Amino acid sequence: MKVLVTGHKGYIGTVMTPMLIQEGYKVVGLDSDLFKQCTFGENLPITKEIKKDIRDIQTSDLEGFDAIIHLAALSNDPLGNLNPTLTYEINYKASVHLAKLAKKIGVKRFLFSSSCSTYGAAGEKMINEQAQFNPVTPYGRSKVLVERDVAKLADSKFSPVFLRNATAYGVSPRLRFDLVLNNLVAWAYTTGKIFMKSDGTPWRPIVHIEDISRAFIAGLKAPIELIHNEAFNVGDNNANYQIRELAEFVKKTVPNCEIEYAKDAGPDKRCYRVDCTKINKVLGFKTKWNAEKGAKELYDTYKKFGICLEDFEGPRYKRIDHIRKLISTGQIDKTLRWKNI
C-alpha cells in the first residue's frame, strides 16, 4: 500500500513515518517544514517527500496513493490563537480541500488526525465518541469542522476515519515542549521545579506518540467496513489523569525536584476524560506506554542530549516563539509561507 503522510516532519510524523516503513508501507511525506531548525537529538529519518504547503496541494500530488494520513496542521492552541484566521485556513479549509482532491482522484482511505480537544470543557464524566463537541480553542474548533465536512464526502469509493488523539507525549526528533508531560519533565530537569501553570485539577487523557502511530497503522490494516466514516478516541481508559497526578509521576522520576504552582494558577477550561473502549473492541488496539514509562523516557533523553530552560521556553524549540522569530527575521511571511520556496 502506498501512503501519503502530510506533516511527516512534525512531532508525530517523524515517529510515525519510520514505523509505517517498518510495517512495509511505501511512504511519501508532504510538509512545508516550518520547524526545520528545531530538530532535537537524533537526525530526522530520510524518506521520499514533497516539500509543499498543505494549502497548495494539487490533484497531481495525490496520484497513485492508496491512503492518506493527514497530520499537517498548526499543532497547538497558542499557534492557533496567533491568528485564528490562519488556523481556519490551514487546519480546516486546507484539510477539507485535501479530502475532496483525494476523493476526486480515487484515494480510497483518508485517516484524519483529529483530537480529543474537540470535547474541550467536558468535565469529569467519561465520554465516548458519541459525546457532544465543546471545543474551547480555534485548534479544537478546526478539528470539529473538518470531521463534519469530511464525513459528508464518505461513500463507497472514499472512506474517511477520524482518530481523535488524546494529549500526546513522548520523545521525537521534532520534540514539542508545550505538551503537558513533556513540559513538566523539562521544567523538573532544568530547574528542579515542576512548574504548574494551572491548579492541577483539570483532567486530561494522554497517549504516547508511538501508540498514536500504532493506532493509525491499525486503521490502515483494518477492513474498510469496520472503520468507514467512524471516529475513534485514541488512548487508554486508564490514562486519564489530573494534571497534578502527572506532576507526582515526574517528581518520582526526576531526582531532587519539587512541585511549584504559578501565582496565577487556576483551573484550565480544557477538562475532559475519554473512553477508548471503541478502538480496543473494533481494532483490537491497546497502548504500550504509560505515564511513568513516558516520564522516564523524556528524562533520560533530556539528560542524553542536554536541554536548558531557554531552549524550550524560547524560540529554539517553543513553537509559537519560533514562528514569531521566523516572521521577524523575514524567513516566512505572516501567512506562514517560506519566502524562499
Q: Where exactly are the structural domains of the chain?
A: 2-328
Distance CA 116, CA 131 (A): 11
Q: Which of 197, 204, 196 is nearest to 166 (CA)?
A: 204
pLDDT at 137: 85
pLDDT tens digits along 287-298: 999 999 999 999
Q: Provide CB contacts within 8 A for 234, sequence distance 6+.
A: 116, 163, 164, 165, 166, 207, 211, 212, 215, 276, 279, 285
In the block, residue with C-alpha cell 510538509: 31
Q: Provide CB contacts within 8 A for 91, sequence distance 6+.
A: 73, 74, 80, 139, 142, 143, 146
Looking at 3.30.70.20, 3.30.9.10, 3.40.50.720, 3.40.640.10, the CATH number of the domain 2-328 comes to: 3.40.50.720
pLDDT at 77: 65
Distance CA 17, CA 140 (A): 25
Q: H/E element holding 6?
A: strand 2-6
Beta carbons of 187 and 85 less than 8 angstroms apart: no
Q: Please give the grid coordinates belonging to residue 311.
A: 531552549
Beta carbons of 169 and 180 less than 8 angstroms apart: yes
Q: H/E element holding 143?
A: helix 138-151
Beta carbons of 98 and 111 less than 8 angstroms apart: no
Q: H/E element holding 184?
A: helix 180-191
**Residues in the chain with pLDDT < 50?**
none
pLDDT at 272: 87
Distance CA 230, CA 245 (A): 32
Q: Based on the number of CB atoms within 10 Å of its own CB, is 284 exposed (0-12), middle (13-18) or buried (19 or more)?
A: exposed
Dihedral sign from CA coordinates of 253, 254, 260, 261: negative
Please calculate the CA angle 170-202-256 and round it to the nearest 5 degrees.
55
Distance CA 45, CA 218 (A): 22
